[in-house]
Amino acid sequence: MNKNVFRGTCLNIRLLTLLAACSLRAATNDASSNQPSEQKSHPTIAVFPMDGPMTEVPADEALEMFGQPGTSLKEFIARLGKAATDQAVKAVVLLPDSAALGPAQIEEVRAAMAVIRKHDKEVYIYGDSLFMGQYALACGGSRISVVPTGLVLFPGLQGSSLHIRGLLDKIGVKPDFMTEGAYKSAAELFMREQPSPEADQMMNWLFDSLYDSFKKLIAEGRKVDESKAKEWLDNGLFTAEQAKAAGLIDAVEQRQDFESMLKEKYGQDVVFDKKYGKKKEADIDFSSPFAFLKIWGQLFSAASKKEAKPAVGIVYVNGPIMTGKGRANPFGASVGAFSTDLREALEKAASDNSIKAVVLRVDSPGGSATASEIILDATRRLKAKKPFVVSMGDVAGSGGYYVACAADTIFADETTITASIGVVTGKLVTTDMWKKIGITFKEYKRGQNAGMFSSDEMFTESERARMRSFMDEVYGVFKKHVSDIRGDRLKKPLDDIAGGRVYTGKQALELGLVDRLGTLNDAVTYIAGQAKIKDYDVRVVPEPKNFLEQLMEQISGGKDEPNHVATAETSLLKLAAPFLQNLDARRTAAVLSALQRLEILQKEGVALSMPEILP
């Protein structure tokens, strides 16, 4: 055999062995994570480092070989719940230094911390410094400590609305947008340099509600009244020593002193488990030439041992809502909630006899009206067969509310951003921009409204009337869905609630747009009760594909179905990314989100999108 061919074959076998190991690790994850904790000879303190963003959809941990996939909220809370009931675990430590959580996620983790404390276990928070969200989270702990000279910085809430009209004017681009509802301010991003009076009013009531919720989280956690919490927020900046003197934290200490304190309390032989509750890796000897066969044997064995235990299924609507199918990406999650994928997931959950009830977890600012209608219809069909409930995350607005509204019971967190019942359409006219750089086009049209979606010129009166009629119909359908389903639960006439108005979960509850305040776990427990099941698994539908499955799907070209989606790597984003990636991350994310909305509008004409709110 040719040496190069032989070497290539060996390399391929090694790669396949590595990939299969990743798959084995994923296949054995469920079994290992659901096993009761082994009795340890030493008392254990479960330590939870909180690094980077908290994601909604669980990721394959095998992807860590290519970089951190992020921490899944569901899995993180499951690990906290396991620590609460594990007799070997004597206390819990959270290290939130680089944690990046949304307001609703903070509430959900706080609820899990409260469960641990109800089991008579202390929850210790230790940080080099604590900032606004981290401090609101930390206040749910039993004891907060910070490094000497560290900062406790929580000066309240600050945000901004994004407007790029001035930029468009400079480069010769004319925005032409229409909305249904005076408060449907998503198009103001392109049309105005400052928010309209209605948008300004809406932002103020949102920030009032969010501020009150954070103030309450701090006051309840530190056992002070809200006026004291407001005083702290108005001060905003404390050194660790000042924070301790003011009662914001309990101790100022170095990491070694913190650990020594825990050893004195729980014993010198206490074990600090920094991977508590994480899924165990397969034990494979890669020096063996038979490792590949062993891996595949264990892989198929693990798959065959899966039991069809009664389960509550969770289907995620995560990110912008778009039509079609998302492409699997073995090196990172697909961005967006795709209608075909979600319809198939809901159909699978409906037909799987082991799944007794379903939670739709929504964390989406909306997007395509067509995709939202497809997903809503699929939830109705599922609800006809099984108990069904919605749990809202940080954001469930516009299309995100559309897909949720069929549920008999909707859970939201106090700080969830939701509603935004309205429609937006429009386009950017780029003719003058091209002229500035010496490029001209001659357009040819046949048909009165042939240029409706062209970037050549503004809407004609005929085109504008046709688009307005289309928007009226979509808006009417949206409102009818809400009116028919929510009915007398609405506390005001729908037109006084809709019109693009955005609310926090707390405000939405008061208006009858949602039914309960609670976490994803609360929604799971509730719907399990409706299904009359007590001993059950919680299963993501569809089950997340492991690295090897995604890679093989990419190599094989996936299913024999047309793929007509706009993916995360669309042309606009590719062009913009090099210029944006080194800017302020918060504002860069908002600009990228705006470009993604344009892609939906270019494809479908109208969109159910929320205004951009920069936290």
Say yes or no to pLDDT of 259 above 90: yes
379 plus 495 within the same structural domain:
yes
Are 227 and 366 part of one and the same domain?
no
For the chain, the straight-line distance linking the first and the last C-alpha, in angstroms and rounded, comes to 62
Could you list the residue range(s) of the whole structural domain that residue 343 is in?
Answer: 311-427+476-584+592-614
348 and 236 in a common domain: no
Name which of 79, 69, 214 is nearest 156 in CA terms.
Answer: 214
Please give the backbone phi and psi of residue 51, each rounded to the nearest 5 degrees, phi first.
-110, 120
User: Token pair for residue 330?
Assistant: 């073995």
Place of tokens 């006084």: 496
Looking at the fold, whether 263 and 124 belong to one and the same domain comes out as yes
**Residue 136 in tokens:** 């609101």
Distance CA 404, CA 332 (A): 27
Co-location of 398 and 510 in the same domain? yes
Domain boundary among 216, 247, 273: 273
Confidence of residue 35 (pLDDT cuts 50, 70, 90): very low
305 belongs to a structural domain:
no
With a CB cutoff of 8 Å and minimum separation 6, the contacts of 230 are 215
pLDDT at 545: 59
Is there a domain that residue 267 lies in?
yes
Q: What percent of the chain has pLDDT over 70?
A: 76
Distance CA 316, CA 120 (A): 33
Considering the domain boundaries, does residue 449 fall inside one?
Answer: no
298 lies in some domain? no
Calculated CA dihedral for residues 325, 329, 335, 340, nearest 10 degrees: 10
Q: Is pTM beyond 0.85 here?
A: no
Here the CATH number for the domain that contains residue 414 is 3.90.226.10
- Which range has the top average pLDDT, 231-240, 279-288, 576-585? 231-240
Shared domain check, 316 and 207: no
Same domain, 104 and 239: yes
CA 115 to chain centre: 23
Q: Could you give phi then psi for residue 234, rounded to 5 degrees?
A: -70, -30
- pLDDT of 309 reads 87
In a domain, 508, yes or no: yes
Are residues 513 and 413 both part of a single domain? Answer: yes
**Do 29 and 112 sit in the same domain of this protein?**
yes
Residue 55 in domain: yes
- The answer to whether residue 434 is domain-embedded is no
For residue range 515-572, list pLDDT tens digits in order.
Answer: 999 999 999 999 999 999 999 999 999 886 555 555 555 555 554 444 444 444 444 5
Mean pLDDT of 453-458: 87
Is a pLDDT exceeding 70 seen at residue 54?
yes
Could you tell me if residue 435 is inside a domain?
A: no
What digits encode the pLDDT tens for the residues 316-347?
999 999 998 886 554 444 568 999 999 999 99
Q: What is the mean pLDDT of the chain?
A: 83
Same structural domain, 340 and 263: no
User: Rounded to 5 degrees, what are φ and ψ at 448?
Assistant: -60, -35
Question: What is the per-residue pLDDT for 588?
Answer: 61
- As for how many domains the chain has, the answer is 2
pLDDT in tens, 164-207: 899 889 989 999 999 988 898 989 988 999 999 999 999 999 99
